[in-house]
Amino acid sequence: MAKKNKILIIDCGSQYTQLIARRVRELGVYSEILFWDTPMEKLIAAEPAGIILSGGPRSVLDKDAPTLPTEILRSDMPILGICYGMQLIAHSFGGKVKRGEYAEYGHAKVNVSGGRLFAHCDEKKLDVWMSHWDEVKELPVGFKETARSESGALAGIESSDGRVTALQFHPEVAHTPKGQEILSAFIFDICGCKADWQLGSEWIDREIQAIREKVKGGRVICGLSGGVDSTVSAVITQRAIGDDLHCIFVDHGMLRKNEAKEVMETYKSLNLNVHHVDASDRFLKALAGVTEPERKRKIIGELFIRVFEEEARKLGGADLLLQGTIYPDVVESGHGGGGVIKSHHNVGGLPEDMKMGLLEPLRDLFKDEVRKIGHALGIASHFIGRHPFPGPGLAVRCLGELTKERLDILREADAIFIEEIRKAGLYDDIWQAFCALLPVRSVGVVGDVRTYGETVALRAISSLDAMTAEWFRLPYDLLDTVARRICNEVPQINRVVLDVTSKPPATIEWE
Ligand code: XMP
């Protein structure tokens, strides 16, 4: 097979597939994800220097479990199997896989007995992360053992020519401290890759050229949300085509305190040609009396489309719609096979009759890579590092009826919480922090007078990808300051509570 300087990750359904791809890129080699049932011709056409088979929730003993074509397994392509990937390799080459007596989950220790993957690990006993039930019980002919866990399970195997290697544990997760050394042995020693994936001026120049070629003097329109992805997409496109890019920023009235003003100032400083539409009254009117969360989302999504379309028409339409699609969106919407268009973050799916082509300059990049490009384009760090904010905005954080008064109360409390987190130097350690205004009133007392006020909940979480999240342990003193300030400075609030649920079972947002 021909070879490009990239690694192909075959997704067998693991929650860590994207993490494997990111780890490979962190080592300086471009990686792509394709789903295991992608037609063989497409796998071959990708021309990777090596393939990594991900883990997955299935058993190779199941009838319709993920497989890989024999032509690929038996080609000259270097292959690394991880977890399910190791069981698939063992099974496909004639070894025996069986359900273990018990699952091995979490931290484990393995003893290394050799193998190319461990060439850069000094120690013979490694801390690793396991998550499996099935085990390889018998090696396939022509394979040797390279590692075994302390509980006795096979943890690493390698073919006699060293081309096919596999691990029962997960080198991609942070809980396997030597994981990057192991992946780097595969990528550089076994696949012969070069570290040439760099996100800087070269990538930007190439992309600017590609945008010019695609736009060919036409007009491009884009919806800006104040988020990182849409901003970085717009700035790079502006560099390519200047004022032929028309941006629309719809203020739906559900933004945080001073957000519309600050975001517009940032856009101005970046020379973006932005049409600011204050549609907050329209949104509030449409949402009057609505308390059901899904109804709120639907109303906001539909009205957003209408406002965006009206503005686009006023601007005289465009040939292309610029979207801030990033690689996880591509993978999640179509297994990396391409072709499926992500619904717009804020408008929840633009109508087909807009008849515009799509421009998606960031569709190959992960979020941290988008941030890198943002830095290289000169976008201020505090803007790039902002916490994610949902399209429907404060509407999903203001439980119960949405009124301007209640939204203002929430905005004030939220601003205090974030200000104190920034003051404590914790903002960048937290994935997302915000206040939610609850549909509950409670009794309080201020200066001997009974109050019956609003309740606000503080939510701060750590996460890697928002799929799962852990509540963030904020210092008690910080919580105390925040609670006191909110009750003193926002007189309508007389109670502050802390949300200590992780995701699952809760979601990050309250609605
Ligand atoms: P949940 O609440 O589902 O949120 O745990 C996961 C992440 O997604 C964000 N979120 C949204 N982002 N449009 C968006 O662009 C939305 O409708 C939306 N709903 C939730 C949320 O803030 C968190 O980061």
pLDDT (mean) for 334-354:
44
Residue 170 annotated among the catalytic residues of the structure? yes
pLDDT at 105: 86
pTM: 0.84
pLDDT (mean) for 4-15:
95
Cβ atoms < 10 Å from Cβ of 351: 10
Tell whether ligand 1 has an atom less than 6 A from the beta carbon of residue 345. yes
Tell whether ligand 1 has an atom less than 6 A from the beta carbon of residue 466. yes
Residue 48 CA to residue 339 CA, distance in Å, equals 21
Residue 262 annotated among the catalytic residues of the structure? no
Going from the Cα of 394 to the center of ligand 1, the distance in angstroms, rounded, reads 11
Percent of the chain with pLDDT over 70: 95
Tell whether ligand 1 has an atom less than 6 A from the beta carbon of residue 432. yes
Q: How confident is the model at residue 2 (pLDDT cuts 50, 70, 90)?
A: low
Residue 104, pLDDT > 90, answer no
Scanning the structure block, which residue is given the tokens 């104040």?
226
pLDDT at 353: 61
**CA-CA distances (angstroms) from residue 309 to 221, 305, 392?**
11, 6, 18
For residue 430, which amino acid is it? I
pLDDT (mean) for 180-190:
98
Q: How confident is the model at residue 1 (pLDDT cuts 50, 70, 90)?
A: low
Going from the Cα of 298 to the center of ligand 1, the distance in angstroms, rounded, reads 14
pLDDT in tens, 371-420: 999 999 999 999 999 999 999 999 999 999 999 999 999 999 999 999 99
Residue 180 CA to residue 186 CA, distance in Å, equals 10
pLDDT (mean) for 51-68:
95
Q: In the 3-class helix/strand/coil scheme, how is 98-147 assigned residue by residue?
A: EEEEEEEEEEEEEEECCCHHHCCCCCCEEEEEEEEEEEEEECCCCEEEEE
pLDDT (mean) for 47-64:
95
pLDDT (mean) for 57-86:
94
For ligand 1, what atom is nearest to the CA of residue 463?
Answer: 24
pLDDT in tens, 419-444: 999 999 999 999 999 999 999 999 99
Residue 275 annotated among the catalytic residues of the structure? no
* Residue that wins the pLDDT comparison between 503 and 493: 493
pLDDT at 320: 95
pLDDT at 15: 86
pLDDT (mean) for 228-245:
97
* Residue that wins the pLDDT comparison between 343 and 173: 173
Residue 210, pLDDT > 80, answer yes
Lowest mean pLDDT among 141-145, 354-358, 488-492: 354-358
* Residue that wins the pLDDT comparison between 504 and 210: 210
Tell whether ligand 1 has an atom less than 6 A from the beta carbon of residue 95. no
pLDDT in tens, 454-466: 999 999 999 977 8
Residue 88 contacts residue 97 (beta carbons within 8 Å): no
Q: How confident is the model at residue 352 (pLDDT cuts 50, 70, 90)?
A: low
Residue 492 CA to residue 483 CA, distance in Å, equals 13
Average pLDDT, the chain: 93
Residue 269, pLDDT > 90, answer yes
Which residues have a Cβ under 8 Å from the Cβ of 250 and sit 6 or more positions away? 223, 277, 279, 304, 307, 308, 311, 346
Going from the Cα of 487 to the center of ligand 1, the distance in angstroms, rounded, reads 28
For ligand 1, what atom is nearest to the CA of residue 227?
Answer: 15
> Which one is catalytic: 158, 172, 412, 511?
172
pLDDT in tens, 271-298: 999 999 999 999 999 999 999 999 999 9
For ligand 1, what atom is nearest to the CA of residue 507?
Answer: 5
Residue 156 contacts residue 50 (beta carbons within 8 Å): no
pLDDT (mean) for 151-174:
96
pLDDT (mean) for 341-361:
60
Residue 360 contacts residue 328 (beta carbons within 8 Å): no
